[in-house]
C-alpha cells in the first residue's frame, strides 16, 4: 500500500502545471484594458505649445478617425516611434499629439529637429490630462472614431511586430479597410 505522502509531489506538480497552462491561454497579459473603449474620449488639455496648432476636443469629432498619441521629448520609445507617426501622417492618417510631463522648449526643439506629424498638439506639462485618459507611461496611442469614441488603446511604441500584429489591424478596422 502506497504511503499518502508519496502522492503529494505529483499532486503539487499537477496543480502547478494546470495553473501555468491556464496562464498561457488566458489572453495577452500585455494588453491593458481601457475603461474608455466604446465611450467618448476624455477632454484634452486646453494648453498648446507656442506657435503650434492647439488640439481641441472638436478635432476628435466629425473629421474621420484620429490617432491621439501621448508622447514626450525625453522618452526613448517615443523617439523610436516618431518615424512611424510621420509615415502615418504622410499616408493621410490623422495624427494628433498630447505632449505631457515635458518642457515646452524641449518639445519644440524635438519637433523642429525631427519633424511634426501632428495636425494639432495639446500640452499637458503636469500630466493631469494623461491621468484622465488612463495613460500609464509614454508613448500611448488611442484610435478615436469619427464620433469621438475611443476604439482602441495601444501602449508602447508604434514599432515592431506588436505594431504590425495588433495596432495596424485595429487602425485598419477603424478606417474600414479589410485585412
Q: What is the pLDDT along the chain (179 residues), one digit of tens a residue?
A: 557 777 777 776 777 666 666 665 555 444 555 567 889 999 999 999 888 899 989 989 999 999 999 999 999 999 999 999 999 999 999 999 999 999 999 999 999 999 999 999 999 999 999 999 999 889 999 999 999 999 999 999 999 999 999 999 999 999 997 54
C-alpha grid cell, residue 129: 490630462
Q: Which fold has domain 34-175?
A: Glutaredoxin (3.40.30)
Question: With contact defined as beta carbons under 8 Å apart, do 158 and 94 qualify?
Answer: no
The residues facing 98 across adjacent strands are: 70, 122
**Residues 76, 84, 100, 123, CA torsion sign:** positive
Answer yes or no: pTM beyond 0.85: no
Amino acid at each position: 500500500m502506497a504511503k499518502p505522502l508519496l502522492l503529494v509531489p505529483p499532486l503539487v506538480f499537477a496543480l502547478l502545471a494546470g495553473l501555468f497552462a491556464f496562464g498561457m491561454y488566458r489572453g495577452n497579459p500585455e494588453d491593458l484594458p481601457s475603461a474608455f473603449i466604446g465611450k467618448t474620449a476624455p477632454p484634452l488639455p486646453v494648453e498648446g505649445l507656442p506657435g503650434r496648432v492647439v488640439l481641441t476636443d472638436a478635432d476628435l469629432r466629425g473629421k474621420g478617425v484620429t490617432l491621439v498619441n501621448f508622447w514626450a521629448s525625453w522618452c526613448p520609445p517615443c523617439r523610436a516611434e516618431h518615424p512611424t507617426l510621420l509615415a502615418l501622417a504622410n499616408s493621410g492618417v490623422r495624427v494628433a499629439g498630447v505632449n505631457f510631463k515635458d518642457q515646452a522648449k524641449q518639445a519644440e526643439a524635438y519637433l523642429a529637429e525631427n519633424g511634426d506629424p501632428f495636425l494639432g498638439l495639446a500640452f499637458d506639462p503636469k500630466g493631469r490630462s494623461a491621468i484622465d485618459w488612463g495613460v500609464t507611461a509614454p508613448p500611448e496611442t488611442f484610435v478615436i472614431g469619427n464620433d469621438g469614441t475611443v476604439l482602441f488603446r495601444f501602449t508602447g511604441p508604434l514599432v515592431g511586430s506588436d505594431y504590425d500584429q495588433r495596432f495596424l489591424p485595429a487602425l485598419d478596422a477603424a478606417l474600414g479597410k479589410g485585412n
